Structure 1
Amino acid sequence: MRSIEYVTGDATLPRGAGTKIIAHVCNDVGGWGAGFVLAISRRWPEPEREYRRWHHEREGNDFLLGAVQLVEVAPDTYVANMIGQHGLRHDRSGPPIRYEAIETALEKVADRAKALGASVHMPRIGCGLAGGTWDRIEPILVRTLCAKDVPVTVYDFG
């Protein structure tokens, strides 16, 4: 089983050779405009455009918690839009993060990474606007990606 590699850097500039998947958490209400998605949109227009289309054309598609949309942004780079946040803000039930949905989405990302021979790159997903904690996210990465021998790099911006 692989371990998670932690580095300082920009997750939109993934390190290493070969195919890469940049994973990040999206909400289930079609909102795109704060947090890590801004860095993605500055680098590539396709992930935002495809996410908005996915949300807008929901009838008959899988735009639900736990779903993943893989968007090719370069011949060897994909962005995984993962629906792991319910709404945009804290409410009576707590923060918008949904750990179970993130785990479901990461299981799908792991399968896609294995099929593509890809490594997975991300910031500390779910720990910003979604309101999650890394001590709950990290074990999910271990169960879903590391256990399937998928190389994982987590970026702390600096």
Structure 2
Amino acid sequence: MTEEITYVRGDATAPRGRGPRVIAHVCNDRGGWGKGFVLALSRRWPEPERAYRDWHRARASNDFALGALQLVQVDRPFRVANMIGRHGTRRGGTGVPVRYEAIDEALHRLAPEALHLGATVHMPRIGCGLAGGHWDLVEPLIRQRLTQRGVGVTVYDVG
């Protein structure tokens, strides 16, 4: 079992390695897609944005909510994990949009999917950009939910 997270400089939309790879990122619970890492995803593939917007539109009849996970097949061998881990889209008087418990739940849902696929998981520092989170709170969630269960994780820092 691997328990380490690999940190690299690079582009999380071009994950390194071989075999199945899942690109995980955090989305908001309001249906907004237009700032941050999602723009890089949309430049590379249209499917994650389209699937997210359809999922949000049909939210009255599906599981779209904080903590939910949507896996979207893009180029073989890549999938994108849309994880609902932000409440709203803006910082304000109520604090930052990140919801650590929602990220935890989405990662919990991602682990068996990645194991089933035999996939590694690749991501930017999820929840720590526009969502306003702190990596020292997100990293332990990744370790507990993914790496301690044997899922390899690579985190990409822009470089």
Query: Which stretches in structure 2 are left out of the alignment for 5+ residues?
Result: none
Task: For 2:142 and 2:156, locate their aligned partners in 1 and report how far apart those are by CA, in whole Å.
Answer: 14
CA-CA distance at 1:7 after TM superposition: 0.3
Cα offsets for 1:43-74 (capped at 9, x unmatched): 00000000000001112100000000000001
Task: For 2:11 and 2:31, locate their aligned partners in 1 and report how far apart those are by CA, in whole Å.
Answer: 25
Q: For 1:54-93, list aligned pairs within 5 A.
A: 54-93=55-94
Map of 1:27 onto structure 2: 28
SS at match of 1:70: strand
Query: Which stretches in structure 1 are left out of the alignment for 5+ residues?
Result: none
Letter in 1 for 2:50: R
Map of 1:101 onto structure 2: 102
SS at match of 2:136: helix
Moved over 4 A (4+): none
Map of 2:16 onto structure 1: 15
Task: For 2:120 and 2:60, locate their aligned partners in 1 and report how far apart those are by CA, in whole Å.
Answer: 32
Letter in 2 for 1:66: G
Map of 2:138 onto structure 1: 137
Q: Matched residue pairs, number?
A: 158
Question: Root-mean-square deviation (CA), in Å?
Answer: 0.7
So what's the TM-score if we normalise by structure 2? 0.98
Task: For 2:149 and 2:88, locate their aligned partners in 1 and report how far apart those are by CA, in whole Å.
Answer: 30
So what's the TM-score if we normalise by structure 1? 0.98
Equivalent pairs: percent with the same residue? 63
Task: For 1:93 and 1:141, locate their aligned partners in 2 and report how far apart those are by CA, in whole Å.
Answer: 26
CA-CA distance at 1:93 after TM superposition: 2.5
Map of 2:120 onto structure 1: 119
Task: For 1:111 and 1:91, locate their aligned partners in 2 and report how far apart those are by CA, in whole Å.
Answer: 35
Task: For 1:99 and 1:42, locate their aligned partners in 2 and report how far apart those are by CA, in whole Å.
Answer: 27
The question of 1:157 aligning with 2:158 is answered yes
